[in-house]
Amino acid sequence: MAEKRFLIVNADDFGQSEGVNRGVIEAHERGIVTSASLMTRWAASAEAAAYARRHPALSLGLHVDLGEWAYRDDTWQPLYEVVQLDDEAAVRDELGRQIAAFRRLVDQEPTHIDSHQHVHLKEPVRTALIELAASLDVPLRHFNPNISYCGEFYGQSAEGFPIRGTITVDALEKILTIRPPGITELGCHPGYGSDLTTMYREERAQEVAVLCDARIRAMIAATGIELRSFADFPSSDRPSVRNA
């Protein structure tokens, strides 16, 4: 018997804006999104957390937010910076604030951890988040040997230039068809970006449409892929903070 293929579809940036929240919720209720990662610093994070508390089928992780950068005039320029990424003490202090905010908003521990624009791939954020994930006994994106990350469903290049044809039903079908056995996390960014000033706006609504397309769910069922969330693969019991 062939080894099974499990798919976690995780929506990043939950809580960044009301428009992003609407897109994530739509892609969960009408589409294939099974998990989301919460940005705790933004005003819409309380709304996102309240929805997740009412809908436990959507597992909720922490989307660590230390800043955002856009490629302009042949260089990376900050759209905003929370802390200096090379200041280890400041990074660790901010991580402490964001995990505390998550617990306060959601009343439980995150089911997983990742970071905005993957800033945890470099030191000192890398070590700090590896240690945080280990202390919580939850998966950290890119660093869990049992969960492979796929970021191919994305409409821009590494420098933020549009890539045609990557946010379509056909493209997503191809991505999913070649997933190997085991657990895959598919990253996505559904939303409605009219209330954002960030570099990934128009593409979000395109993602919502594709993630909710009936062809995608039919293809998943036909190929034997099983939709799961991070909560379906717990490393340990995760009681609510209130009851811990």
Residues annotated as catalytic (active site), given as ranges = 12
- Rounded to an integer, what distance in angstroms lies between the CA atom of residue 67 and that of residue 155? 20
- Rounded to an integer, what distance in angstroms lies between the CA atom of residue 9 and that of residue 179? 13
Identity of the residue numbered 154: Y
Pinpoint the alpha helices (H) of the chain: 18-29, 45-54, 88-106, 125-136, 169-177, 202-211, 214-222
Sign for the CA dihedral angle at 186, 172, 69, 24 comes to: negative
Question: Kind of pairing, strands 113-115 and 226-228?
Answer: unpaired
Nearest Cα neighbor of 106 from 54, 64, 34, 141 is: 54
CB–CB of 27/33 below 8 Å? yes
